[in-house]
Each structure stands twice: as structure tokens, then as C-alpha cells.
Amino acid sequence: MWRTLDEVTPGALRRVEKVRAKVRCHVWSQMSRLPTSKVAGMDLRKTIVLDADSTLVTAHSEKEQAAATFKHGFGFHPIGVWCDNTHEWLAVTLRPGNAGSNHAGDHIEVLSRSIAQIPARHRRQLLIRADRAGATHQLLNWLTALGQVRGRRVEYSVGFSHQERGGDQRYQSAPGDGVDARGDRGRSCAGARRRRRDHRVARPI
């Protein structure tokens, strides 16, 4: 097994991803209706939701790229993307344990590969979600540019520390009233609009 994996080239990996995308396109075409994602009791209908997140994997011995982690462990820090609609894993980037959580380049790379896994006709309405590791200007500018493509709507929701409030807030690029945990719309603190340098028009959710 290790010899086979060791011989896999970047070109071979790209071909594998193309085959995966082709198979996924066929499988999704067989569904009478694609599963929908639900947020705060609301059905997002045709929106495809992609969740980006990293995780720590512990290594119990010296291995290639294993390194000390920010939680004082030892191992790896891969970043992956999952489709919330179908609960499918779309792409992952293997990284050493000391890789930065908020590395914009890593987010952009794995999200690009993940979007390529979504059948073309389902890429028209996308929602990208990430925790505060995704709250970087470079990533949000890239997502904003994706939304400029004609016929495509890209929204995003990221978390980041809000020092003035002393807590963790979440902001997204979509306009409109806020939605609370029960799915009710209204002008609560979750619906108040704020302008941030990270977004065109951002509001917490």
C-alpha cells in the first residue's frame, strides 16, 4: 500500500479527482431531488453548502511532515471541505502539524478543488462556511470575486473574534434580516447590519 501511495504523482492525483467529479455528476443526476441544507430551521433549497474546516491528527511516532501542533500535540493539520447537502467529503489537503489554521492559500486551494467536484449545473448558488480560520482578507476577496461571475451566486459565512463585544461573532455577505436559532426573522442583534473591511456588506448570523 505505502509503495503505491509513494508512487502517486500530482498529475495522477488530478486525474483521480477528475474521475471522482465525473462519478459524482452521474450519481447526482440519478437523484430525483438533491438533498437540501437546513440552517436555523430554514430550507436553503437549491443552495449547495460547502463547509471548510481543519482538524488535528495525532501521530504517535516520527512520520513524514509530522510536527508539533498549536494545541501542544504532535502530528498533522489537514484541511478539508464537505458538502452539507449530501454529507460528502469533497477534498482535503494534507499539511504538517505546524501549518497555520488561517492560511488563506490553503483555504483557496482546497475550496477550488471542492467546487470543481460539484456538477456544473449545481454551482450556480453556493454558500461557503468556515470558522474564524477563514476570516482573512485574501480568502474573502477571493470568494467575493467568485460571486462576480455571471449566473453564479456565492455567499459566505465566517467566524472571527469581535473584541469590542468580547466574544465570537459570525458574519456573512448576504443582505436581509437576521435569523435567530428558531428560524425567526427579525431585528435582533443577529440581524443588525455592520460594515467591515472584510466584506462588501456584512451582517452577523
Q: Cell numbers for 177, please give them.
A: 434580516
Question: Which amino acid is located at 90 in the chain?
Answer: L
Which of 43-47, 158-162, 170-174, 182-186 has the highest mean predicted lDDT (pLDDT)?
A: 43-47
pLDDT at residue 172 greater than cutoff 80: no
Higher pLDDT, 203 or 5: 5
3-state secondary structure 66-101: CEECCCCCEEECCEEEEECCCCEEEEEECCECCCCC
Is 50 exceeded by the pLDDT of residue 189? no
Strand partners, 79: 54, 93
Give tens-digit pLDDT for 98-143.
999 999 999 999 999 999 999 999 999 999 999 999 999 999 999 9
Q: Which amino acid is at 95?
A: R
What does the pLDDT read at residue 118?
A: 97
Look at residue 3 in the predicted model and tell me its pLDDT: 79
- Rounded CA-CA distance 130/51 in Å is 6
Predicted confidence at residue 40, as pLDDT, reads: 80
Helices (H) and strands (E) in the chain, counts: 4, 14
Which DSSP symbol is given to 132? G
**pLDDT: is 173 or 152 the higher one?**
152
Give the dihedral sign, CA 77/82/87/88.
negative
Average pLDDT of the chain is: 82
* pLDDT, position 121: 92
pLDDT at 163 (0 to 100): 55
d(CA 26, CA 144): 30
The strand ranges marked E within the chain are 38-39, 42-43, 48-54, 57-58, 67-68, 74-76, 79-83, 88-93, 125-130, 153-162, 167-172, 178-179, 185-186, 203-204
**Alpha carbon distance 157, 60 (integer Å):** 35
Residue 159: pLDDT band (50, 70, 90) is confident
Task: State residue 203's pLDDT score.
Answer: 38
Q: Are 172 and 205 in contact (CB under 8 A)?
A: yes
Task: Provide Rg for the chain, Cα atoms.
Answer: 19
